[in-house]
Amino acid sequence: MTRTKIAIIGSGNIGTDLMFKVMRLSETLEVGMLVGIDPDSDGLARAARLGIPTTAEGVDGLIASAGFDEIEIVFDATSAGAHRANAEKLLPLGKRLVDLTPAAIGPYVVPVVNLDDHPDAQDVNMVTCGGQATIPMVAAVSSVTPVHYAEIVASIASKSAGPGTRANIDEFTETTSKAIEEVGGAARGKAIIVMNPAEPPMIMRDTVQVLTSRLDEQTRAAIVAAVEAQCAAVAEYVPGYRLKQTVQFLDRGTEADTLVPADRVQTGGYTQVSVFLEVEGAAMYLPSYAGNLDIMTSAALRTAERMAARTAKEAVA
C-alpha cells in the first residue's frame, strides 16, 4: 500500500510527538521530513536517528529539499505568526496544510464534529487543545437543544505549555471562542485557559458549561446520552479522553441574561449544563500529563488521514 508522504514543521514537543504518532499509529501516512530551526533540537536528533530526513532551515529548507515534490500534506506545529508566513510559501506550491497553531487561516476542524465539512480546504485549522477537548461536548448538547451560551475552561500543567503556547495565549482564547460558536453551535462562546504550576504536574482538565432554555427530564436524559456517545467517539482517537463525573444540571433565572445574546434572552429561565473532562496523554514522546498536546496531535493525525483517503479515492475515480 502506497502511503501519503507528510512533512512536519516544528521540531518541538508537538511536532516530535506527532512524528511518533504517524510512525506508530498511521497505516496511510509516512513522515517525509521533520522541519525545525534549531539544529540542536531533540526532535531533529531523534528523527535523524530514525532515518527520517530533517532540515534546520525552516520552511525554506523543506521547499529546497530533494523530497519536497513527494510531500502532499504539511503539518504546522510552530506558532500563529509563523504559520501565516509558512502558508504564504506552501499554499501556492499545491501543498495541503494541517495547522496546529491558533492562526485560523483556514476553516476549523474538530474530527468528531465536522471532519468531512471542508473537503476542498487547502489549509485546515485544528483550533486549540482546549477547543479539541471541549467543542465536542458543546456540539453534543447543541445536537439536542439550542445552546445560547457556552463557556469552557481548559486547565493544563504549566510544564506542558512551551514557548509557542505561551506566546499564543491571546490567539488561544479568540480562536477557541470563535470555534465554540462556528463548530460547537453555541450562539455565544467564551474560552479561558489556566496553566497550573502544581507539582507533580496535573493532567489536562476541562470544564464545559452551557446555557440552554429550561429543560425537562426527557431532554436532560437525551443530553446525557449525547454527551456520553460523543465522549466515546473522541476516545477512539484520544484514548485518555474521559468524563470526570456525570453531567450536571442546574436551573438558573434572569441573572444569566447578561451572558446570552439579546435575541436569546429566555423569559422562562435557563438550564446550565456542566460537563467535566480530563485528558491523559498517550506518552509516546510527551509525558502523560500533557494531554493538551496529545489531543492536538491525535486530532491532526485523524484529519490528515481523512485528507489522504479522500485524495486517494478521487485519484482512483
Q: Which sequence positions are flagged as catalytic?
A: 129
Angle between helices 217-235 and 129-142 (to 10 degrees): 140
Amino acid at 281: G
d(CA 12, CA 222) in angstroms, rounded, equals 42
**Do 131 and 110 touch, CB atoms closer than 8 A?**
yes
CA atoms within 13 A on the CB side of 248: 13
Residue 257 has φ and ψ, to the nearest 5°, of: -55, -35
Amino acid at 310: R
The answer for residues whose C-beta is within 8 angstroms of residue 208's C-beta and 6 or more apart is 134, 137, 138, 150, 151, 152, 274, 275, 276, 277
Nearest Cα neighbor of 131 from 191, 204, 195, 205 is 191
* Cis before 287? omega within 30: no
**Helix residue spans in the chain (DSSP H):** 13-25, 42-49, 58-64, 80-90, 111-114, 129-142, 163-167, 169-182, 217-235, 291-316
Cα-based angle 274, 278, 283 (whole degrees, multiple of 5) = 165
